A = this chain, B = another copy of it.
Amino acid sequence: MTGRRTAVLLILDGLGDRPVKELGGKTPLQAAKTPVMDRLTKEGQSGLMNVIGPGITPGSDAAHLSLFGYDPVGCYPGRGPLEALGAGLASKPGDVAFRANFGTIDSDFVVTDRRAGRTFSREEHEALEKALSGIEIDGVRVHFVATVEHRGALVLEGNGLSGEITETDPHETGLKVLESRPLNKDAKKTAEIVNKLVHLSHNRLKDLDLNKEREKRGLPPANILLLRGPGQHREIPTLQERYGIKAAVIAGGSLYIGTAKYIGMEHVPVEGQTGTIDTNFDNIAAKSIEVISSDFDYVFIHIKATDNASHDGNAKEKVLAIERTDKMLGKIVEAVGKDIVIAVTGDHTTPLSVGEHTCDPVPALLWSSFMRPDATQAFSEIDAADGSLHTLRGMDIMPLLLGYAGYIGKMGA
């Protein structure tokens, strides 16, 4: 619309870090050559951000809800619905969803392999999905999709469901598949359906030809669905309902796609976008430019490679991931810089020295061509402490972006 810009959120997953010996005491963001981020910092504003709150270590999903302007304390639905949406399943308020594994059990329902050998061909995925299709238990429809290797997602669609139930995955071999238990009396029906489903999955899978083939090849059969991370899709307003905006997600990882879809973003696939250092940065840049130039009001771009390097303790790869992202950002700003307000930040700190998420705040920069600049000259955890945004919360980013981009009306007259 007239006078409005597209709001862009670029997340480098696990961006924040601590000084690294191998990098001469610099953080990866300080060590990386980031001429584009540095220029945007000079022309814009930066600060430090507690994504959820001071001292709180953010999980990736809760962190992204905060960055999208949603308080995770009130609206975090558990992992299931986010993974299910990310896997391409439909899920709507009231539905209950799970992460699912193909597993191997013996005749006593004892788990002998939680991943049923891990390796599955596309044909096997399709045959397994087909075997599990069309299930309805006590009026509740079951939707399953296989995703990567032994993994999948499952949605229960129907009335009167509850996410307050326990998992069936024992998380260890040598233990029996667990009975799902209701955590309150409203969840009794859901737990019963889940327990029926577990047995039904065994009956439908155990004698499939593909499992006979797997056993011939020395692979364990996929003869059960193990369910974990139950959660109920909540009634929360979408971004469209809250702000009247049309929002897109450009991400490789299904959890990020799912979290974005949960609050109403539309997934725009990019060829060659993965969660790794080899993701196709050029294609992400090109698609981002295309989407920004279309009728989307808000675009969320997610780069996972930084976090993978952090978890692996690979300083060089984290620096490389940052530098490749910087180049990608350069292309976007060059093409559509005048049409955007952009925030560049992380969803949490993953220090190379720790290899896990920590509670350290992340650096954040906010830029548009018209923005009042502050004195910071470079983008890093250390420099950002001097920026004019001071200390932000993750939930501040969405209103800041949309406010500057022109999507939040005046309050009062």
Contact = CB atoms under 8 A, between A and B. Distances in A.
Contact of A411 (B52, B389, B401, B404): B52
A359 B404 contact: yes
A19 B373 CA distance: 9
Given A391-B390, A399-B55, A403-B55, A63 B374 contact: no
A202 B373 CA distance: 55
Interface stretch (A114-122, A125-133, A204-212, A379-387): A379-387
Q: Is the interface of A mostly helix, strand, loop or mixed?
A: loop
Contacts of A381: 372
Interface in A327-373: 353, 357-360, 370-373
Contacts of A52: 411
A60 interface: yes
A90 interface: no
Nearest to A52: B411
Contact of A48 (B57, B359, B390, B413): B390
Given A48-B390, A385-B375, A18 B399 contact: no
Contacts of A399: 53-56
A382 B376 CA distance: 11
Interface of A: 18-19, 27, 48, 52-63, 65, 72, 76, 79, 229, 255, 353, 357-360, 370-375, 381-382, 385-392, 396, 398-404, 408-413
A63 B59 CA distance: 31
A375 to B, nearest CB: 7
A219 to B, nearest CB: 29
A222 B129 CA distance: 76
Given A353-B370, A359-B404, A411 B54 contact: no
